[in-house]
């Protein structure tokens, strides 16, 4: 079935540094990738939608310059958290329209901790 | 604005019990509703997807129903097992300002051996 590989699964970084998260569709082409963020005991919130070859669409309240999204190929979308701060610590997860009857396929998520 | 609510927020049951998780949504104009399982610190596993034209879907011990007009869905888990312990999320796919999946906050389930 459709698989989205997300890396890294967890990362700890210092405040002020940047972190890149990758999501790859392994056996299908993903023209669209959704990026979500989940704070502890809260629901997943859509941050942005990336589209291959064009600019990402950001949800209201999400800073474009802080969360850089690149979707340069049909199998790779990246989210870069720039100048990370402790309040950016969260669980980030990507999702692409899948090929199965189960709709969207999710990556395994990245737990980011900024210290 | 579409909002998805899940009740209860947490649930603890003894092994073998049948249980029902509830999900409600405010806007009935959805394309589909999906139930996911999330284990601590991990990604999502899709369990069942119900298209807007469907009433229910079944997979093994899981059965999900959808009443779009009343904005409700239930996930029924039969003969619960400790391995079912996880957070269960429901999500609806809408097309308001572009296709979006809106998630509920989840129900944390703990099945005691």
B7-31 average pLDDT score: 95
B101 to chain A, any CB pair closer than 8 A? The answer is yes
Chain A residues whose CB is inside 8 A of the B53 CB are none
Pick out chain A residues at pLDDT < 50. Answer: none
pLDDT of residue A27: 84
Decide if A109 and B102 are in contact by the 8 Å CB cutoff.
no
Nearest CA in chain A to B49: A102
A41 to chain B, any CB pair closer than 8 A? The answer is yes
- Tokens 């312990």, residue located: B85
Residues paired with B33 in a beta bridge = B50, B92
pLDDT of residue A3: 85
Decide if B103 and A45 are in contact by the 8 Å CB cutoff.
yes
Residue of A8, A46, A104 for testing the chain B interface, max B β-carbons within 10 Å: A104
Residues 6+ apart with CB under 8 A from B26: B1, B2, B3, B4, B71
> DSSP class of residue A59?
P
| Tens-digit pLDDT profile for residues B71-110 | 999 999 999 999 999 999 999 988 776 777 889 999 999 9
Chain B residues whose CB is inside 8 A of the A42 CB are 105
Cα–Cα nearest to B33, from B83, B70, B77, B81: B70
Question: Which of the two residues, A84 and B41, has the higher pLDDT score?
Answer: A84
pLDDT of residue A29: 87
């Amino acid at each position: 079935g459709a698989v989205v590989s997300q890396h890294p699964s967890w990362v700890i970084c210092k405040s002020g540094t940047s972190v890149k998260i990758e999501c790859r569709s392994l056996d299908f082409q993903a023209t669209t990738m959704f990026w979500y963020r989940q704070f502890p005991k809260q629901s997943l919130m859509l941050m942005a939608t990336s589209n291959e070859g064009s600019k990402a669409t950001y949800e209201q309240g999400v800073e474009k310059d802080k969360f850089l999204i690149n979707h340069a190929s049909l199998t790779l979308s990246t989210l870069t958290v720039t100048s990370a701060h402790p309040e950016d610590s969260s669980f980030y997860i990507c999702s692409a329209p899948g090929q199965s009857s189960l709709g969207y396929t999710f990556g395994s998520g990245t737990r980011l901790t900024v210290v | 604005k579409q909002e998805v609510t899940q009740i209860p927020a947490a649930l603890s049951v003894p092994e073998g019990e049948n249980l029902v998780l509830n999900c409600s949504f405010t806007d009935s104009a959805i394309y589909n509703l999906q139930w996911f399982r999330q284990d601590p610190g991990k990604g999502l596993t899709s369990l069942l997807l119900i298209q807007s034209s469907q009433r229910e879907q079944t997979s093994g011990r899981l059965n999900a129903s959808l009443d779009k007009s009343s904005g409700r869905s239930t996930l029924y888990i039969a003969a619960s097992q400790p391995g079912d312990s996880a957070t269960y999320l429901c999500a609806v796919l809408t097309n308001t300002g572009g296709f979006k999946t809106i998630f509920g906050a989840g129900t944390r389930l703990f099945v005691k051996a």
